[in-house]
Amino acid sequence: MKNSYGFDISWSRLKVGMDFMKENIKDNPNFFVADFSSIPLCDNSIDVVYTSHSIEPNGGNEKHILEELYRITKNYLVLFEPDYELASDEAKIRMENHGYAIHIASTAKMLGYNIIKRKLLEYSTNPLNPTSVIVIEKSSSDDKKENDNIFQCPITKTKLIDYGEVYFAPQSHIMYPVIRDIPCLLKTQAIFGFKYL
């Protein structure tokens, strides 16, 4: 997979995933530590963005998460998430008790996103956690200005430059550490580096 990117809030999960990819798939994806509240990617920077049960544990934050995912999407946003609205009554109760995101499709509709496909998958490892695929096409009328930069500072939204040991935002002098080839791009990991360059 050329130019693939992936993020998680856990550095350890990313390290395990990176090692697995290198050993089994012979790919070296661009993994980075981040969270949904401020994804450190530029607008329209990723052709196809997808999730796999990532929004699930973030009940109540559907709107903000979808807005962030849509912002970084250039063409398609593909969500593989539990579908409360298509679930059985028993599954709905379980999702509510676990604090799952239960308004994903309806929030996407409320935001005016173009849902071109929504289907409950025929097979699920847990019938009480049924997964559907929701495909959102980013409208051609949306501003899709080409972006030659991928990463941006999650605080200032300005360009980040890769210096190997850190990602550095020259306009704000904020830098983020890189640990074993994994950039840590969380707001809480920002370091001021006025004299870095």
Segment-wise mean pLDDT, segments of 10 residues, the chain, 197 residues: 84 93 82 95 96 94 97 97 92 94 95 96 88 92 62 96 96 96 96 92
pTM: 0.90
Q: What is the pLDDT of residue 96?
A: 94
**What's the confidence (pLDDT) of residue 143?**
59
Fold of 43-137: Rossmann fold (3.40.50)
pLDDT at 176: 98
Q: Output the six-digit token pair for 183.
A: 């950039």
The encoded tokens of residue 145 equal: 């200005």
Extended strands (E) in 46-188: 46-52, 73-82, 114-120, 131-137, 161-162, 166-169, 174-179, 182-183
pLDDT of residue 1: 45
